[in-house]
Structure 1
Amino acid sequence: MTDGTGAVRLATAHDVDAIFDVRIGVRENVLTRAELTERGITREAVLAMIDEASCVWVVEVDSEVVGFSMADAEDACVFAAFVRPDQEGKGLGSVLMAAAEAFLFEHHERIWLETAYASRARGFYERRGWVQVAALADGDVRMEKVVPGRAISPG
């Protein structure tokens, strides 16, 4: 899958270090490698997602991984979507989200994610048709999206 600026493909074990480099290099929702490990997001956990579920995608520009997305098919959620700051605004996040959404819609009619209310990401998701359905205690919001053509109702 490509939008003319980057090629999206399923991630492989060779992409894990690049995925972590992208994740710790973001401007918002910043976490260190140690903080990711505390949350259970380890090299082994990412490798398992790649090997067992085929639910991690990367986008490359000039053969370099510059973004990724992850989905959890069992839980129906987009787990992560990040693009390197120097590659923002080129449509790469949109193609990564399209891959995750298509995968999840193969298994579910309603999918979800959580993001910070005050983040730029919330606006990005809204422009892609995601709807806020709940405000969470920590300043995050739960957003949902349904199979295209269906209406979404809160709750």
Structure 2
Amino acid sequence: MIIGTPTFQIRPALTTDVNAMFDVRTSVRENVLTAGELFELGITPEFIAAEIERSPCAWVATVDTQVIGFSMIDLDTACLFAAFVLPEYEGLGIGTGLIKACESALFESHPVAWLETAKSSRAAQLYRHLGWGNETAVGEGDVRMEKHRE
């Protein structure tokens, strides 16, 4: 349990953050995947490290030196595809900060960004609150959402 509001920082992810990013990803309450399931999808530490080295595509939120959340984009396709926060740090503005870091990078190169998420998830509620819309069903309870550069 977190008492008070911790001071967090958001910075570009480093390859040395990858293991902590996997710890965050496998600790979430929604969109739960194990490390094995991620690996089956081709999402390995080596793949993520290579993506971080290739382009500015990931950010981490930290309290002191602990990674407590992360976000990732595919700059080539204008997709925000990951935004996760450790459960004990939810509701403190960390997800919003990580999403805004993604939006800033995406809108430097693209007029429209997109993502897919579960329609009834808390994440979808946050994206809607942040101005993501134009929802289109993509199957299995998921929606595609878009946001336009201002």
TM-score, normalised via structure 2 length:
0.94
Q: For the residues of structure 2 that align with 1:70 and 1:136, how far apart are their CA atoms? A: 21
Structure-to-structure mapping, 1:1-155, within 5 angstroms:
5-148=7-150
Q: For the residues of structure 1 that align with 2:60 and 2:73, how far apart are their CA atoms? A: 12
Count of matched residue pairs: 145
Q: For the residues of structure 2 that align with 1:20 and 1:6, how far apart are their CA atoms? A: 19
Q: For the residues of structure 1 that align with 2:90 and 2:48, how far apart are their CA atoms? A: 23
Conserved in 2, the CA contact under 8 Å of 1:132 and 1:141? Answer: no
The amino acid that maps onto 1:9 is R
Residue 152 (structure 1) aligns with: none
Which consecutive aligned stretches of 4+ in structure 1 deviate over 6 angstroms post-superposition?
Answer: none
Q: For the residues of structure 2 that align with 1:132 and 1:49, how far apart are their CA atoms? A: 28
Gaps spanning 5+ residues in structure 1: where?
149-155
The amino acid that maps onto 1:33 is A
The amino acid that maps onto 2:136 is A
The amino acid that maps onto 2:96 is S
Q: For the residues of structure 1 that align with 2:101 and 2:54, how far apart are their CA atoms? A: 17
* Superposition RMSD in Å: 1.0
Q: Secondary structure at the match of 2:139?
A: coil
Identity value in percent: 52
Conserved in 2, the CA contact under 8 Å of 1:70 and 1:100? Answer: yes
Q: Deviations over 1:62-109 (max 9, x none)?
A: 221000000001010001000000001110001100110000001100
Gaps spanning 5+ residues in structure 2: where?
1-5
Residue 3 (structure 2) aligns with: none
Q: For the residues of structure 1 that align with 2:68 and 2:119, how far apart are their CA atoms? A: 25
